[in-house]
Amino acid sequence: MYEQVARNKRNTWLLLLAFGFLIAIVTWAVAFIFQAGAYAIPIAVVVALALAWSSYWFSDKIALSVTRAKPADGPEYARLNNLVEGLCIAAGLPKPRVYVVEDPAPNAFATGRNPKHAAIAVTTGLLDMMNRVELEGVLAHELSHIKNYDILVQTIAVTAVGAVVLISDFALRAMWFSGGRSRDRSGGDSANPIGALLMIVALIFLALAPLAAKLMQFSMSRRREYLADASGVLLTRYPPGLTSALEKLRDDNAVVHHAPRATEQMWIESPLPAKPLTSRGRKQSWLDRAFATHPPLDDRIAALKEM
């Protein structure tokens, strides 16, 4: 387990470099298409560094904002805060900020850049559905993501994927509405085969960059969920609690209303509508598994029952 935590930390920096490189390529393509000329590479580097820096420092605020999470203040959330505090003492972690998402669908997520700057959010549906030991199991799972440094990788991916998609979409739409004349205004590239080739390459980069970003996001091992389940059970010393919680999540079909697709991997289970072929009682295809952000809940439940 400790080896996996160390590997997660190393993968964090590799992920930062990979996303920075991808954002730099996308920005270069945009700068080239819109005639930034010799300034294309410096612009790409500056934008990549700025987005990587903002991902590191502000990704938790972005994630909490887009999911409309609010601080869990007030006496109605006393049980929630007490459970989090007790688990943090047992885990040797500083207490994260605790948030609530007003949504009837049961779900939860953790975000932040490290254990000292972390937050946990749960939906009101989760608080209504789970009993004490089940809620404790879910919170232990999320705290394990914090302790294992999964949260930094997840939040960086959310921000970086969104940035790549936004830049690519903006550039392609601008090219479409300008009739593809961004490089033809000076009349130089139409007679320059190298310029024409670079234009094609830039357009290919812009078209494929969102897919590449998503594949990088999917490449984050689903073993992180298994590890968080195992770490959570180790923390509570009561496997039936998390097992029962996952069974309730599996049997519930509600979806979180304010959960953008880019935040999917942050939640304890996917907050998006399940495809008909992946509903309970039917196996996922290899393609579904390859592009899934979470292992099937039945597999996670089976693994917990073997503990």
Chain centroid offset of residue 182 CA: 34
Distance CA 79, CA 125 (A): 15
DSSP state of 190: G
User: Which element (helix H / strand E) includes 99?
Assistant: strand 97-101
Distance CA 295, CA 225 (A): 7
What are the structure tokens assigned to 195, written together?
Answer: 């310029």
What are the structure tokens assigned to 57, written together?
Answer: 């420092």
DSSP state of 113: E
Q: Point out the catalytic residue in the list 142, 225, 264, 269.
A: 142
Distance CA 305, CA 307 (A): 5
Distance CA 303, CA 83 (A): 25
Contact 229, 242 (CB under 8 A): yes
Would you call 142 a catalytic residue per the annotation? yes
DSSP state of 269: S
Q: In what order do the strands lie in the sheet with 97-101?
A: 69-71, 97-101, 117-123, 108-114
Contact 112, 96 (CB under 8 A): yes
Q: Which residues of 83-114 are buried (b: 16+ CB within 10 A; e: fewer)?
A: bbeebbeebebeebbbbbbebebbbbbbbbbe
> Which residues are catalytic, by number?
142
